[in-house]
Amino acid sequence: MNPAIARRNRLIVCAAIACAFSIVGCTTAVSKKPLLADPQVAESLQRYTKEYVLEAGDSLDVVVYRNPELSRPALIRRDGLISLPILGDVQAAGLTTRQLDAQLAERLRARLVNPEVTVSVTNAREPMVYVVGEVQSATPVTLREAKTAAQAIARASLQTRAVDLSRVSIIRLDDTGHLRAYAVQRHEHSQPALYMALQNMPLQADDLIFVPESKRSQAGRAVQDFVTIPLSALNLMLTPYFQYRIIESVLK
């Protein structure tokens, strides 16, 4: 091989090796960079489960396996009871379907061998979201009527002067069973940007929209609780004393 060509090939190989090492070094540096958690999201340590809780007005389909004569539809009455063959009236409101399954099976064991009961809801309630915090009362809103946080808040009776819409949070149960709080995020500090941010927060069934009290309202309430009311009480206590002193000076 021509010495000049061989020397050129060696230079090309050395350059390729140096380039490869520089790429590996850059990649390693990036991979070691710590990943920071989003400060706008808080997660609960405890895990929860979401289950449908029965209430008056729910229509049920009660199936007792291998016993069609005991299987039938049932309506939860206003008193929270359902009526079933053999068992008569049974409390259903306030229980989950799984709990009612177990209760009916337990009561049927006196008549049947290893009874298997399955309860299903045939007219499940509409998915709801709930506005809590500085509101007249906790406000349930159908998800159909409130697809975003802004729409849910608009349907709630807020304590208008006391709320801080810039600190609204959505509390949600995620797929892992943890509660997560998602705070409103906006890139500008204008009023339109705030409403746009709330409108850009989509909701899911059973979300809690927490509307906190404003700092100005907190300060005003502190003044009312610790200054105005105590001074008013003190004035009421001192008024008779001052009246007595005035009368005393006049008599002199």
Domain C-terminal end among 121, 140, 161 = 121
Do 166 and 209 sit in the same domain of this protein? yes
* Helix (H/G/I), strand (E/B), else coil: 206: coil
The answer to whether 100 touches 54, Cβ cutoff 8 Å, is: yes
Tell me how far apart the alpha carbons of residues 202 and 129 are, in angstroms, rounded to a whole number: 11
Residue 216's pLDDT is what?
56
Q: Which residues contact 200 (CB under 8 A, 6 or more apart)?
A: 148
* Structural domain boundaries enclosing 163: 128-215
The answer to whether 84 touches 73, Cβ cutoff 8 Å, is: no
In this structure, is residue 169 part of a structural domain?
yes
Do 116 and 166 sit in the same domain of this protein? no
241 pLDDT higher than 90? no
Residue 134's pLDDT is what?
81
Say which CATH number the domain at 109 has. Answer: 3.30.1950.10
Domain C-terminal end among 121, 144, 162 = 121
The residues pairing with 210 across neighbouring beta strands, listed in sequence order, are 132, 169
Q: Domain count of the chain?
A: 2
- Higher pLDDT: 105 or 167? It is 105
Neighbours of 46 (CB within 10 A): 7
Domain C-terminal end among 121, 145, 165 = 121
In this structure, is residue 29 part of a structural domain?
no
Residue 138's pLDDT is what?
79
Do 135 and 206 sit in the same domain of this protein? yes
Tell me how far apart the alpha carbons of residues 222 and 229 are, in angstroms, rounded to a whole number: 10
Do 133 and 204 sit in the same domain of this protein? yes
Do 136 and 70 sit in the same domain of this protein? no
- The mean pLDDT value for 18-45 works out to 44
Say which CATH number the domain at 208 has. Answer: 3.10.560.10
